[in-house]
Amino acid sequence: MISLTINGTRTEVREGTTILQAARFLEIPIPTLCYHPWLKPFGACRICTVQVQRPRGYELVTACNTPCEEGMVIQTDTDHVRQARRVVVELMMARWPNVPIVQKLAAEVGLEKPRFISEMRDEAPDACILCLRCVRICEEVVGACAIGYEDRGIKRKVVTPFHEESEACVACGACAHVCPTGHMKFEPEDYRGKPPEFLLGPNTAIHVMTPQAVPKVPRIDRESCIHFKTNGCQKCVEVCEAKAVNHEMTDQELEIEVGQILVATGYDLFDASVMAQYGYGRLDNIYTALDIERMLNATGPTGGQIRLKNGQPPRAVGIIHCVGSRDENYHRYCSRVCCMYALKFAHLIKERCPEAEVYNFYIDMRAFGKGYEEFYSRVLHEGVNVIRGKVAEVVQAGWSKQEEGTLLIRCEDTLIGKLREIPVDMVILCNAIEPRRDAERVARLFGLSRSPDGFFLERHPKLDPVATSSDGLFVAGCAQGPKDIPDTVAQASAAAARMLATIAKGVVEMDPVRAEINEEYCSGCRVCNALCPYEAIEYLEDKNVSRVNSALCKGCGTCVAACPAGAITGYGFSDLQLHAELEGLLAVR
């Protein structure tokens, strides 16, 4: 430990502590500019100058990078220090008079009237003040070294090599993050290729999906994480006290033996940009329902406010139902949940933007559930305009100055029998609920059937909506078909109960009609494995024979017929039994 005195206060610090760190520990303020806690101290700006006592006088040193020595006597606020800081800031003001952080420093050091004007004066408020933080972070933390300096002295500039777009840049935005003036700008694009003034998705490589996520733990996005691009950074590892961050983690494949499976793999949303006439992804201020859900959420990017891209609240909003549903060209089915959430949106928009006009464009209003119709009435009374008719297209308006940026919804109002053009500021598309993109693969994996609309097939639409044609295999939720939350919960509980019942029984009743493989005759050719529609045949490697899982076997007889060795018997339908039946029938006179 080293003992030293700062401003008359004695203190002890560990070896290697800098004067700035010691002062901060004692809560003695020292102004800084180029210093940043993530970076090695550089000493470029010289603002953090302090005075150190020496045997024959004093010396001015920079606090950020001078290590404490035993017996040091430091003063941070003498006349000399104040004069030095004031002149240094004055030198900066001569060059960058309008940069907010420089002006703030000027106020801090008591500089009232800067005397000088530099030949290289830059009046921009976001001028580069040569603090060199961007270059340092790119080199020390990110490890990409994509920017550097050119020229020397007063002509020094921060540039990319040869002024060309840097190939080494990994677009992490670290430079913009530490830039004190905003000279370094980071312009990320969200997945739609649009520069988001507010991002509807996560905006850092390590993030918690939403504050209401379950489980509420951070995850690292491999695509944008700096460590995966340059092997540098790992600041998250440094700051995590629990040492919980591990970049080496990979997906693990686990093998678990189970008796029953519940498939609840959910849904995907219809990609509204396919319907080009609605302008999603092409025009501004056109959102899908999920986007708006995020925006309306109190923990979302706008804090629950409805905002256009320019930050203003909309004057009029159009909500278009049945985008991709009830459509001969895309999905013929109804997505069930959209009408109600569209009305919810209308209600909330009216609540949060009372001045806004809201238009719902629908085909049929499906308010089938408990309290749903009443809610619809309420919404109508709140002044929401409902227009029965499919929307033909959404275009940019703009004949007059007032309409600039406005969207125009062209539709047919079938109730009044007219074509209408309605100017709105924002359009919300209620896009259809679709089966998951990988539904076919999952179906094949489990031996599930699918209904014509692509969702998994239940055993009976009325009498058995949770089971499938395979025993022990259940389906619940939107994997089976679009449904809202109460219905999903009900279905899931039912499936769980069914599964528990089987477990509680302890035994599985099997159909006597089933197949069995004679292991003596089986040669392990495995033809039957692939043929079984119920995936009921497994292959035993050590014995090189196949075996029928009686619990799954439905006794369809496919394997019996297919087995080249004749090793499989269908109980109740063996050759002997069939012969006996035939003889019995033929014996009757």
Partner 1 sequence: MPYRVHCMVCAGTGCVSNRSLEVRDALENEIRKRGLQDEIQIVTTGCNGFCAVGPLMVVQPDGIFYQQVSAKDVPLLVEEHFIKGRPVQKLLYKPPEAAAPIPKMSDIPFFKHQRLIALRNRGLIDPEKIEDYIARDGYQALVKALTEMTPEQIIEVITKSGLRGRGGAGFPTGVKWQKVRQAKGEPKYIICNGDEGDPGAFMDRSIFESDPHSVIEGMLIGARAIGARYGVVYIRNEYPLALERIQIAIQQAREYGLLGENILDSGLDFDISVTRGAGAFVCGEETALIASVEGRLGDPRARPPYPAEYGLWGKPTCINNVETWANVPPIILHGWEWYSQIGTERSKGTKVFSLVGKVRNTGLVEVPMGITLRQLIYDIGGGIPGDKKFKAVQTGGPSGGCIPAGMMDQPIEYIAPDGKREARDYLDLPIDYESLTDVGSMMGSGGLVVMDEDTCMVDVARYFLAFTQDESCGACTPCREGTKLMLDILNRIVDGHGTMDDLRALEEIAWVVKQTSLCGLGKTAPNPVLTTLKYFRDEYLAHIEAHKCPAHVCRALNTYRIDPVICVERGHGCGVCRRECPEKAIFGEKNQPHRIDQTLCKKCGVCVEVCHFNAVIVE
Q: Footprint of partner 1 on this chain (CB under 8 A)?
A: 41-47, 49, 54-60, 62, 65-67, 80, 83-84, 87-88, 91-92, 94-95, 115-116, 118-120, 130, 132, 148-149, 151-156
Q: Identify which of 221, 222, 218, 200 has the alpha carbon closest to the alpha carbon of residue 208.
A: 218
Other C-beta atoms closer than 10 Å to the C-beta of 355 total: 9
User: What minimum distance in Å lies between the beta carbon of 49 and partner 1?
Assistant: 5
Measured CA to CA, the distance from residue 264 to residue 488 in angstroms comes to 10
User: What minimum distance in Å lies between the beta carbon of 47 and partner 1?
Assistant: 8
Measured CA to CA, the distance from residue 95 to residue 32 in angstroms comes to 18
User: What minimum distance in Å lies between the beta carbon of 133 and partner 1?
Assistant: 13
Instruction: Report CA 35 to chain centroid distance, whole Å.
Output: 33
Q: Nearer Cβ to partner 1, position 62 or 181?
A: 62
Q: Nearer Cβ to partner 1, position 85 or 294?
A: 85
User: What minimum distance in Å lies between the beta carbon of 51 and partner 1?
Assistant: 10
Q: Nearer Cβ to partner 1, position 92 or 175?
A: 92
Q: DSSP states of 48-115 as a string?
A: TEEEEEETTEEEEEETTTPBP-TT-EEESS-HHHHHHHHHHHHHHHHH-TT-HHHHHHHHHTT--S--
| Residue at token pair 């159909």 | 511
User: What minimum distance in Å lies between the beta carbon of 10 and partner 1?
Assistant: 23
Q: Say whether 222 sits in a helix, a strand or coil.
A: coil
Describe the crossing of helices 338-352 and 289-296 by its angle, rounded to 10 degrees: 40
Residue 303 backbone dihedrals phi, psi, to 5 degrees: 70, 25
Q: Nearer Cβ to partner 1, position 151 or 248?
A: 151
Q: Nearer Cβ to partner 1, position 118 or 449?
A: 118
Helix (H) or strand (E) holding 379: helix 372-381
Measured CA to CA, the distance from residue 249 to residue 251 in angstroms comes to 7
Q: Nearer Cβ to partner 1, position 136 or 350?
A: 136
User: What minimum distance in Å lies between the beta carbon of 27 and partner 1?
Assistant: 24
Residue 278 backbone dihedrals phi, psi, to 5 degrees: -90, -5
Q: Nearer Cβ to partner 1, position 151 or 253?
A: 151
Q: Nearer Cβ to partner 1, position 60 or 494?
A: 60
User: What minimum distance in Å lies between the beta carbon of 43 and partner 1?
Assistant: 4
Measured CA to CA, the distance from residue 307 to residue 425 in angstroms comes to 10
Q: Say which residues have a Cβ less than 8 Å from residue 38's Cβ, sequence separation at least 6.
A: 137, 140, 141, 178, 235
User: What minimum distance in Å lies between the beta carbon of 91 and partner 1?
Assistant: 4
